[in-house]
Structure 1
Amino acid sequence: MILCAAQISPCWNDPESGLKKMRQYAAEAVEGDAELIAFPEQILTGWDPHDTSYTTEETGALVDQMREIAQEVSIGLIGSYREKGEENPLNTCIAIGPDGRTLAKYSKIHLFSPAGEDLHYSAGRTLGSCTVNSCTIGLAICYDLRFSQLFQAYRNKGVLLMIVPSAWPSSRMKHFNLFTTSRAAEFQTFVASVNTVGITPVDTYTGGTCIAGPDGTIRARGSDLEELIFYDIHEEEALTMRKKFPVHQDYEKVDYTELLAR
Structure 2
Amino acid sequence: MLCCSAQIRSAWEDPDRTLEIAADCFSRAARSGAKMISFPEQFATGWDPHSLQNTGDLTGPTVSGFRKLAKEYSIAVIGSFRETFTPKPRNTAIAIDSRGDILTTYAKIHLFTPGHEDKTFFPGTSLATFTLEGVQIGLAICYDLRFPELFRLYRRKGVHAVIVPAAWPQSRMLHWELFIQSRAAENQMYVAGVNTVGTNPVDRYAGESMTADPHGAIIARAGPEAELLYYEIDPRVVEQARRDFPVENDRKDDLYSILLQKHRE
Q: TM-score, normalised by structure 1?
A: 0.98
Q: Which residue of 2 aligns with 1:56?
A: 56
Structure 2 residue matching 1:242: 3-state secondary structure = helix
- Cα RMSD of the aligned pairs, angstroms, is 1.0
Structure 2 residue matching 1:91: 3-state secondary structure = strand
Task: Label 1:258 to 1:123 Cα distance change in 2 as closer, same or farther (>3 A).
Answer: closer
Q: Which residue of 2 aligns with 1:165?
A: 165
Give the deviation of 1:260 after TM superposition. 4.0
Give aligned pairs, total.
262
Supply the distance in 2 between the matched residues of 1:119 and 1:144 (Cα, whole angstroms). Answer: 17
In the TM superposition, 1:1-262 aligns within 5 A as: 1-252=1-252, 253-254=254-255, 255-260=258-263
Give the deviation of 1:259 after TM superposition. 4.6
Give the deviation of 1:258 after TM superposition. 3.9
Structure 2 residue matching 1:55: 3-state secondary structure = coil
Task: Label 1:261 to 1:146 Cα distance change in 2 as closer, same or farther (>3 A).
Answer: closer
Supply the distance in 2 between the matched residues of 1:132 and 1:258 (Cα, whole angstroms). Answer: 39
Supply the distance in 1 between the matched residues of 2:217 and 2:162 (Cα, whole angstroms). Answer: 15
Supply the distance in 1 between the matched residues of 2:152 and 2:61 (Cα, whole angstroms). Answer: 34
Give the deviation of 1:148 after TM superposition. 0.5
Task: Label 1:261 to 1:115 Cα distance change in 2 as closer, same or farther (>3 A).
Answer: closer
Supply the distance in 1 between the matched residues of 2:236 and 2:228 (Cα, whole angstroms). Answer: 24
Structure 1 residue matching 2:216: 3-state secondary structure = coil
Supply the distance in 2 between the matched residues of 1:208 and 1:217 (Cα, whole angstroms). Answer: 15
Supply the distance in 2 between the matched residues of 1:197 and 1:257 (Cα, whole angstroms). Answer: 40
Give the deviation of 1:186 after TM superposition. 0.2
Supply the distance in 1 between the matched residues of 2:27 and 2:183 (Cα, whole angstroms). Answer: 31
Q: TM-score, normalised by structure 2?
A: 0.97
Give the deviation of 1:62 after TM superposition. 1.8
Gaps of 5+ in 1: none
What does the per-residue CA deviation read over 1:50-92, in whole Å, with 9 as the maximum and x for residues that have no partner?
Answer: 0011000012222111100000000000110000011110000
Partner AA of 1:77 in structure 2:
V
Supply the distance in 2 between the matched residues of 1:239 and 1:25 (Cα, whole angstroms). Answer: 31
Taking only the aligned residue pairs, the percentage that are identical comes to: 45
What does the per-residue CA deviation read over 1:168-226, in whole Å, with 9 as the maximum and x for residues that have no partner?
Answer: 00000000000000000000010000000000100000100010000001001010010
4+ runs of 1 displaced by more than 3 Å? Answer: 258-262
Partner AA of 2:259 in structure 1:
Y
What does the per-residue CA deviation read over 1:117-157, in whole Å, with 9 as the maximum and x for residues that have no partner?
Answer: 00110001111110000000000000000000100111111
